[in-house]
Copies of this chain bind each other. A is one copy, B any other.
């Protein structure tokens, strides 16, 4: 395959589409050649091909590749297909494949398998390795402990550069899958003391002591750090790997940047879905069962519906006013939605700023100091547009189009009172200022409130803030109406 063929991005998996027919043909005709013929192909591409095969072909394909290469392919395979496959083969076969994976992928693969199967597979794995897997499985999957791999390269700080390099070459030649982005140095107590990149090791003068070359500032994370924290450290320091260090200063594992990117993507998917007002799906949209999807969407929709019922109570309270000045009712959807929209803007800004740590809990008053003038200004802009719309329609209705309608207030006798449309416009304009200001404040404070009581601030959703703002918005509208129109409403 020439590079120019690979210039295009994996949209629609073009590599897999190209490879699949050849691989299927080879499986039928010369499975023995398959491993050699595909040895230059990236396992991610082979995994894409594997996803196109049916179960018997998939088994034959992985068998033809041999355990080490098959394990690479399994690491890139769709979780669901991998899980199904590992559950369908004998525990011994599964154990052989799993043992060839890197420790972090091994734990991830076993985590997805149902417990009974996983225990059977674990029973086939030698004790020492099994204990390591079980230790990794004991960490929450979205913490540093759950992301780390335990095979990495560390050398004593006393070594010379030449012997450290020999050490590293021996590990590289062993064919094991140790993380080797960075080399860590340890002190006499085995605690982590320094770090250097392979490049720095290569650049080091022969004969120097490794401890003198390594950086003594080792950026690290604790095993309980959550994945957002890990991502922040990796991105802040431009790292390709970060060690996970225990309280005693011992390196427990290493998190590599590829796992962090996956974690960032998953975290973002969760945040976007939560902001959209549903429980995170945790599965691709096209793969989740309709039942699970309805459950994950229906929960919040029902809660929001029940909360929104307060608007009915508010409306009920003002029934007399609405029936006296019917024109008031016309603008209810308009003013309410503006509150929800301004709230949604503020919530999206603040949840994101919090995720990026641009804004922290104690900054709440600085946010209010920005949202208050912003909300008032935006409210004035919208209020002016709203009033201009009413004035324009009124002018057209009165002078140009005989639609039989007017924004003037109608008396009980059915007569429009000239000029009263101005009062209606003032009500709409005035309440828009209040509602947009309130929406901006409520939307920006919701993530703070959630964080304060211990929830993820990213649970603040556009529908949630809209619902919160709707009830207050409606009340603001009627209160402004009572002030402006009090002569007409009593």
Chain A residues in the interface with B (C-beta under 8 A): 1-4, 6-12, 40-42, 44-45, 76, 165, 168-169, 172-173, 180-181, 191-193, 198-200, 202-203, 215-222, 225, 229, 231-240, 245, 247, 249, 257-258, 260-262, 264-265, 268-269, 271-273, 275-278, 281, 284-286, 290, 293-294, 297-298, 300-302, 304-306, 308-309, 311-312, 315-316, 319, 322-323, 326, 329-334, 336-338, 340-342, 344-345, 347-353, 356-360, 363, 366-367, 370, 373-374, 377-378, 381-382, 385-386, 389, 405, 436, 461-463, 466-467, 470, 474
Contact = CB atoms under 8 A, between A and B. Distances in A.
A6 B217 contact: yes
Contacts of A370: 285-286, 290, 293
A6 B220 contact: yes
A357 B14 CA distance: 13
Contacts of A264: 261, 264-265
A341 B294 contact: no
B3 A191 contact: yes
Contacts of A293: 370, 374
A330 B319 contact: yes
B466 A340 contact: yes
A344 B276 contact: yes
Contact of A337 (B165, B300, B466): B466
A192 to B, nearest CB: 5
- CB-based closest 7 A-B pairs: A276-B348, A462-B462, A172-B203, A238-B258, A311-B333, A341-B463, A285-B353
A301 B337 contact: no
A462 B276 contact: yes
9 contacts: A181-B240, A235-B258, A278-B345, A293-B374, A302-B382, A302-B385, A308-B338, A311-B333, A340-B340
Given A44-B237, A285-B350, A315 B340 contact: no
A441 to B, nearest CB: 14
Contact of A203 (B169, B192, B203, B236): B169
Contact of A40 (B215, B237, B358): B215
Contacts of A191: 3
Given A3-B220, A4-B247, A249-B3, A352 B172 contact: no
B272 A348 contact: yes
Given A216-B1, A273-B348, A275-B276, A332 B334 contact: no
Nearest to A352: B272
Contacts of A332: 315, 332-333
Given A6-B218, A203-B172, A378-B298, A347 B11 contact: no
Given A9-B229, A308-B338, A333-B470, A463 B344 contact: yes
Given A40-B216, A202-B168, A235-B265, A345 B405 contact: no
A71 to B, nearest CB: 14
A200 B180 CA distance: 10
A162 to B, nearest CB: 12
B305 A385 contact: yes
Contacts of A344: 276-277, 461-463
Nearest to A382: B305
B349 A278 contact: yes
A463 B268 CA distance: 20
A301 B172 contact: no
A314 to B, nearest CB: 8
A202 B330 CA distance: 75
A348 B9 contact: no
Contacts of A331: 312
